Structure 1
């Protein structure tokens, strides 16, 4: 039985991935921002374990995990959580920049640092669920895209560094995906949200699980998923 640690299991792609892995009997450790969220995860995914830590405060993650029981080994670390706040560069405040960089980039880097020993034991895999914005930035997407461009750089560097330790690293770049985050984006854009126009989170989950299940003689470094409509 494989053991996976996920962020972002509360909705969208993260919830879809968690359901897939839970349904097939894998061992899940779900990262929750607070005790209330951890209880929700425990109800939604019976048998899953939880870890509590706030991705918005990456400087405190080491302390938070130090107070909790960590597994001896991990087969995968799945970075799926993310936040987005649109705005033109001339309007964005440092607080907006800091929040997106903290959740989307610095916390994934810190969790990776803290959990690499367990991943090395199992020759495991790290999956960064990035975004199309991690490959190209558009107007009003500067802060979010910067965080996701940084996430690509993080994944590329970790891939090279950990190859000798047998750790695989995959980046997934979904296009617009039907999720609460996408509904928020449409609200910020002043557009009507029609979930049927965008990728089903289950389709992205299929991609993530396929990368995890790929035999050890190969690896997927980067994969882009785009709406088919």
Structure 2
């Protein structure tokens, strides 16, 4: 039985990761901001707010985790806005949740990951190194998250810690619904990738033999998942 920490555990992808891990008997530490929502999961709750990075290390220490088989970074937030309209507060919030919070959680859990020869998995932006109009702040955070994962992979290779970045296209979650409706498009979840598919891909990465390295995994989407003339 593995011990796995999942951030964004109450979100569309994170909650499905928790469900699938628990179904197969793994122990899960579910990380999120909302204690009430976390209590509804079949997991050990850890209340953290990525917008308050100074609070992360004390909370992780208090959890008393000495060995950790994996950390799955599934937390994320997006506020669509043009560069002219995006405020400093919006930039700060998105960068905190999408980049600096995951960086601090990674830093504080590294000793436990090293002790177990563990695995860090980062859920990234499927479009990779491109940014569409109005996605600037979100894309900037995710570009930074890829840089974090790439640096961590090189730094920790000698310590037996594996690092995987996963880039899923358009997943049927409340975040994707808000994006579609924000652009004025119909939200049709049946045409999109499903959270259980992404969770299954995460488990595939976690279950890869110890002598393999799945550095990056991309999950595409059929053309029916995009509005006419639009590629997110």
**Common fold: TM-score over 0.5:** yes
Superposition TM-score, scaled by structure 2 size: 0.92
Instruction: Give me the CA root mean square deviation.
Output: 1.2
Please give the alpha-carbon distance, in whole angstroms, between the structure 1 residues aligned to 2:82 and 2:63: 42
Q: State the partner residue of 1:65.
A: 60
2:219 aligns with one of 204, 214, 225: 225
Q: State the partner residue of 1:6.
A: 6
Report the count of equivalent residues: 223
1:205 aligns with 2:199: yes
- CA drift of 1:59 comes to 2.6
- CA drift of 1:8 comes to 1.4
Please give the alpha-carbon distance, in whole angstroms, between the structure 1 residues aligned to 2:221 and 2:91: 28
Q: State the partner residue of 1:100.
A: 94
Q: State the partner residue of 2:230.
A: none
Q: State the partner residue of 2:35.
A: 35
1:216 aligns with 2:213: no
Please give the alpha-carbon distance, in whole angstroms, between the structure 1 residues aligned to 2:23 and 2:163: 24
> Is there any run of 5+ residues in structure 2 with no aligned partner, and where?
225-232
- CA drift of 1:160 comes to 0.2
Q: Spell out the pairing of 1:134-145 with structure 2 (5 A cutoff).
A: 134-145=128-139
Superposition TM-score, scaled by structure 1 size: 0.93
2:110 aligns with one of 109, 116, 123: 116
> Is there any run of 5+ residues in structure 1 with no aligned partner, and where?
none
1:129 aligns with 2:129: no
- CA drift of 1:155 comes to 0.1
Whether the 8 Å contact between 1:133 and 1:149 is mirrored in structure 2 is no
1:171 aligns with 2:165: yes
Whether the 8 Å contact between 2:120 and 2:161 is mirrored in structure 1 is yes
Please give the alpha-carbon distance, in whole angstroms, between the structure 2 residues aligned to 1:38 and 1:153: 29
- CA drift of 1:163 comes to 0.3
